[in-house]
Amino acid sequence: MPRPIQALVHTDALAHNLARARAAAPDARVWAVVKANAYGHGIERAFAGLRGADGFALLDLQEAEIVRALDWRGPILLLEGVFEPRDLELCSRLGLWHVVHCSEQIDWLAAHKTQTPHRVFLKMNSGMNRLGFTPAAFRSAWARLNALPQVEEVTLMTHFADADGERGVAAQMARFDAATSDLPGERSLSNSAATLRHGLKSDWVRAGILVYGSAPDHPEHDIGHWQLQPAMTLRSKLIATQQLQPGDTVGYGSRFVAGQAMRIGIAACGYADGYPRHCGTGTPVLVNGHRTGTVGRVSMDMLAVDLSALPDAGIGSEVTLWGCGPGGSVLAIDEVAQAAGTIGYELMCAVAPRVPISALPAA
Ligand SMILES: *Cc1c(COP(=O)(O)O)cnc(C)c1O
């Protein structure tokens, strides 16, 4: 028998969450963001649940080739644009739309030979200070692109730094609007948090984390609040149990000291599987669908769970690290992320290659 750890991708949940994005932005078309191997879910598996999207947004040209190979004829958007001039050849060949965020990318496009003009998303740096033209430089970039025979249509785009938090989007929206109000063309503004929280009017929303069933503004809101379903389950089994006496310790560094007699289980999951090591005692976990907590330090291949309230649990009991457990139980990835001082995004992207992943229902 293989080691019992497994990741499952719930394609029905992906489709459900995509429908939530549509409901939140009823007038917009929806990019399903599938960068980073679909946030760790696997592009092919994610595609099975997200084929109802209006397009797929990603970063790697190789991922774009995979989506085309899945026979997707609709839009594909390169969110960072091209990395060197010859990438434009692939854009022409596969009909990829691409972000233009710097003047070098316009130079490359101007020198590019193509029969079919490209759809480009011109990105404004409205305050994030990662990619994009400043509001002052935006208009001349737009004019330059519009004059190129290599360009078919220019969509105006920006990205928010604080859509999930208190600052919100107002300051960035004001900068964007001031610099673009008289420019024609479609707009693409919102990520998941902006889509769910701010209801901005735009032509294209870019839904990433929400389609994977993680709340972009956790812990202010959880997936129940946004009616999202976990798209990934990480599960394993207990491979041992231990009976502790008062004063006994658990794991490396003897970080946990039993205050009383208690029983613990040892699950076949550790940081080498992508489970975060920075999770203290009490990180939520499900055993046979019942909520309990981890005990002591997470080690490379194992972690310990408290079985004090679960007398029936033993070797072979199902352990849900996050996602869907037996009997309709759910443990949101956001809760585990919070215990580790990180966000759901990082955990789902970091499931280790040694963990077998399969789609449910099978694609
Ligand atoms: C990753 C990304 C998104 C999706 O963000 P989520 O918070 O996962 O919805 C949207 N737009 C751009 C430019 C991105 O890089």
Instruction: Give the distance, in angstroms, between the CA of residue 66 and the centroid of all CA atoms in the same chain.
Output: 18
How confident is residue 361, by pLDDT bands cut at 50, 70 and 90?
confident
CA-wise closest residue to 126 among 190, 57, 30, 215: 190
Pocket test for ligand 1, best of 79, 206, 226 (most atoms within 8 A of CB): 206
For residue 197, what pLDDT is reported? 98
Q: How far does residue 335's CA lie from ligand 1's centre (Å)?
A: 21
Prior bond of 311 cis (ω within 30°):
no
**pTM of the shown model:** 0.97
Nearest ligand 1 atom to the CA of 163 is: 7
Q: What is the mean pLDDT of the chain?
A: 97
Contact indicator for 55, 31 with CB cutoff of 8 Å: yes
Residue 85 C-alpha to ligand 1 middle, in angstroms? Answer: 24
Sign (positive or negative) of CA dihedral 216, 159, 118, 92? negative
Give nearest CA residue, ligand 1 atom 15. 79
Q: What is the pLDDT of residue 204?
A: 98
Alpha-carbon distance of 36 to 208, in angstroms, equals 11
d(CA 55, CA 73): 9
Q: 175 C-alpha vs ligand 1 centroid, how far in Å?
A: 20
Tens of pLDDT, residues 131-175: 999 999 999 999 999 999 999 999 999 999 999 999 999 999 999
d(C-alpha 87, C-alpha 73), whole Å: 19
- The residue whose CB lies within 8 Å of the most ligand 1 atoms, and thus the one to mutate among 18, 33, 78, 211, is 33
Mind listing the pLDDT tens digit for each residue in 32-45? 999 999 999 999 99
Pairwise CA distance, residues 211 & 55, whole Å: 13
Check pLDDT > 60 for residue 363: no
The CATH code that applies to domain 232-360 is 2.40.37.10
Q: Do domains 11-212 and 232-360 have the same CATH topology?
A: no
Q: What is the pLDDT of residue 1?
A: 83
Rounded distance from Cα 263 to ligand 1 centre (Å): 43
HSE of 201, CA atoms in CB hemisphere, 13 A: 1
pLDDT score at 325: 98
Report CA(79)–ligand 1 centroid distance (Å).
Answer: 9
Cβ distance 293 to 322 under 8 Å?
no
Per-residue pLDDT at 202: 94
Helices (H), the chain: 11-24, 35-39, 43-50, 61-69, 87-94, 103-110, 135-146, 170-180, 192-198, 223-226, 333-339, 344-349
The set of protein residues with a Cβ atom below 6 angstroms from ligand 1 is 33, 35, 79, 159, 191-193, 206-209, 216
Q: Which amino acid, residue 41?
A: H
Looking from the CA of residue 192, the nearest atom of ligand 1 is 9
CB 99 within 8 A of CB 76: no
Question: What does the pLDDT average to over 50-71?
Answer: 98
Domain locations in the chain as residue ranges = 11-212, 232-360
Torsions phi, psi for 158 (to 5 deg): -150, 175
Given a cut of 80, whether residue 362 has pLDDT beyond it is no
Q: Model confidence over 207-254: pLDDT tens digits?
A: 999 999 999 999 999 999 999 999 999 999 999 999 999 999 999 999
- 158 is written with which tokens? 């920006």
**C-alpha closest to that of 295 among 285, 168, 31:** 285
pLDDT of residue 228: 98
Q: Report DSSP state, residue 326.
A: G
Phi, psi of 292 (to 5 degrees): -145, -160
Q: Is residue 307 very low, low, confident or very high in pLDDT (cuts 50, 70, 90)? A: very high
pLDDT at 72: 98
Phi-psi region of 124 (alpha: psi -120 to 50; beta: other; left: phi over 0): beta
Is pLDDT above 70 for 344? yes
Question: For ligand 1, atom 6, which residue shows the shortest CA distance?
Answer: 208
Q: Which of 35, 39, 123, 237 is catalytic?
A: 35
What is the Cα–Cα distance from 7 to 124, expressed in whole angstroms? 38
| Class of the CATH-defined domain 11-212 | alpha beta
Tokens of 106: 């316009």
Q: Which of 39, 123, 252, 271 is catalytic?
A: 252
How far is ligand 1, taken at its centre, from the CA of residue 206, in Å?
6
Is there a catalytic annotation at residue 252?
A: yes
The residue to which tokens 């992943």 are assigned? 357
Which percentage of the chain shows pLDDT scores above 90? Answer: 99
Minimum CA distance residue for ligand 1 atom 4: 208
